[in-house]
Amino acid sequence: MTDAHDTDLHKDLAATLHARRDLGPEYETELVDSFMEKIDSRIDGAVERRLRRGLAEQQMQAARGARRSKGTDSWGERFGFGIVSLVLAIPLSAIGGAFAGMTGLIATWIGIVGVNAAQAVRLNPDLFRRPDHDRED
């Protein structure tokens, strides 16, 4: 689509230059103004399309975020969950290590990491998704 616009613009420029040669320098200002109006119109159209596309993308993201967000995600919640997780890790590690040795300690920490990972994914569902670099616009 851009190539077609470039070709049209090239044709308009060639026609303007041809008209200037035919009409003479006294019409140069009018011809240049006419050509610049065409360029301004094309730029305005391109900017408007980009703005509309950006606005539509923002609205889609806001709609997705509103559907996903529960309003409970806050810095305090994340900090509190981290502190509680670390505080509980101490006695759980002691219990797991005392009853099952190194296997119990490893199982305990796998559970702690699992709970924290589940909390992180709950707060940010896109956390482990791969970015879509191959998407065409």
pLDDT per residue of the chain (137 residues) written in tens, 0 to 9: 556 667 888 888 888 888 888 888 888 888 888 888 888 888 888 889 988 998 888 888 888 776 555 555 677 788 888 888 889 989 999 998 898 999 999 999 999 999 988 888 887 777 777 776 655 54
Question: Based on the domain organization, do 132 and 84 belong to the same domain?
Answer: yes
CA distance 78 to 83: 9
H/E stretch holding 136 reads none
Start-to-end CA distance of the chain, whole Å, equals 13
Burial category of 20 from C-beta neighbours within 10 Å (exposed 0-12, middle 13-18, buried 19 and up): middle
* pLDDT number for residue 18: 87
Question: Based on the domain organization, do 131 and 76 belong to the same domain?
Answer: yes
* pTM check: above 0.75: no
Question: Based on the domain organization, do 97 and 34 belong to the same domain?
Answer: no
Contact 134, 111 (CB under 8 A): no
CA distance 121 to 135: 24
Give the count of domains, the chain: 2
CA distance 76 to 82: 10
* pLDDT number for residue 69: 52
* pLDDT number for residue 103: 93
| Domain limit, last residue, from 38, 69, 100 | 69
Question: Based on the domain organization, do 63 and 96 belong to the same domain?
Answer: no
